[in-house]
Chains A and B, each alone.
Chain A
Amino acid sequence: MLEIAQQQLLAPAGLELHHLDKVLDHLLSHQVDLADVYFQSSRLEAWTLEDGIVKEGSYNIEQGAGIRAISGEKTGFAYTDELFLPNLIEAADTARAIARSGQRGTVAIESRTARHQLYQPVNPLDSLTREEKISLLHDVEQEARHQDERVRQVIVSLVGAQDIVLVAASDGTMKADVRPLVRMNVHVIVEQAGRREQSSAGGGGRTRLDYFTEQQRGKQLAREAVRQALVNLEAVDAPAGQMPVVLGPGWPGVLLHEAVGHGLEGDFNRKGTSTFSGRLGEQVASPLCTVVDDGTLEGRRGSLNIDDEGTDTGYNVLIEKGILKGYMQDKHNASLMGVAPTGNGRRESYAHLPMPRMTNTYMLAGEHDREEIIASVDRGIYAVNFGGGQVDITSGKFVFSASEAYLIENGKVTVPVKGATLIGNGPDVMTKISMVGNDLQLDPGVGVCGKEGQSVPVGVGQPTLKIDQLTVGGTV
Chain B
Amino acid sequence: MKGFDDKARLAHLQELIDVVLEEAKSRGASAAEVGAHSDIGLSATVRLGEPETVEHTRDNSLGISVYFGQRKGSASTSDLSSTAIRESVRAACDIARYTAEDEFAGLADPELLATEFPDLDLYHPWELSIDEALAISKECEAAALAMDPRISNSEGATLNTEAGVGVYGNSNGFNHGYPISRHSISCSVIAKQKDEMQRDYWYSTARHYEDLEPAVAVGERAARRTLDRLGARKLQTRQAPVIFRAELAAGLLRSFVSAIRGSALYRQATFLLDALDTQVFPEWVHIEENPYLPRGLASAPFDSEGVATRRRDLVSDGMLKSYVLGSYSARKLGLQTTGNAGGVRNLSIDMGDMDLQQLMREMGTGLVVTELMGQGVNTITGDYSRGAAGYWVENGEVAFPVEEITVAGNLRDMYRNLVAVGNDDNYSGSVRTGSWLIESMMIAGE
Contact = CB atoms under 8 A, between A and B. Distances in A.
B137 to A, nearest CB: 13
Interface string A77-111: 11111100000000100110110000000000000
B56 interface: yes
B77 A60 contact: yes
Contact of A56 (B72, B375, B403, B404): B72
A75 B54 contact: yes
Given A59-B92, A189-B267, A399 B380 contact: no
Contacts of A390: 373-374, 387
Interface residues of B, number: 76
A440 interface: no
B268 interface: yes
A247 to B, nearest CB: 16
B67 to A, nearest CB: 12
Interface string A53-65: 1111111111110
A273 interface: yes
B386 A74 contact: no
Contact of A80 (B58, B387, B445): B58
A59 B95 contact: yes
A61 B198 contact: no
B385 A387 contact: no
Contacts of A401: 374-376, 385
Contacts of B354: none
A466 B408 CA distance: 24
B408 A394 contact: no
A160 interface: no
Given A240-B408, A471-B406, A189 B268 contact: yes
Nearest to B446: A242
Residue in B54, B55, B100 whose Cβ sees the most chain A Cβ within 10 Å:
B55
Contacts of B190: 273, 394
Nearest to A71: B51
A389 interface: yes
Given A75-B53, A387-B375, A399-B374, A58 B75 contact: yes
Residue in B91, B100, B373, B387 whose Cβ sees the most chain A Cβ within 10 Å:
B387
Interface stretch (A17-25, A174-182, A421-429): A421-429
A395 to B, nearest CB: 6
Contacts of B75: 58-61
Contacts of B88: 59, 61
B153 A74 contact: no
Contacts of A59: 73-76, 88, 91-92, 95
B99 A56 contact: yes
Given A63-B79, A238-B385, A397-B387, A196 B269 contact: yes
A353 B53 contact: yes
Given A61-B84, A394-B197, A196 B387 contact: no
Interface in B212-250: 229, 234, 237
Contacts of A155: 267
A421 B54 contact: no
B442 interface: yes
Nearest to B191: A394
A158 B12 CA distance: 35
Given A77-B56, A153-B267, A58 B95 contact: yes
Interface in A215-264: 238, 240-242
Contacts of A54: 98-100
Interface pairs A-B: 4 shortest CB-CB: A473-B406, A399-B387, A394-B199, A59-B91
30 contacts: A55-B99, A57-B96, A57-B98, A59-B92, A60-B77, A61-B84, A77-B56, A79-B56, A79-B58, A81-B58, A94-B56, A97-B54, A97-B130, A130-B94, A131-B98, A153-B267, A153-B269, A191-B268, A240-B406, A275-B197, A351-B57, A387-B376, A395-B198, A399-B406, A418-B381, A419-B385, A420-B376, A423-B374, A471-B446, A473-B444
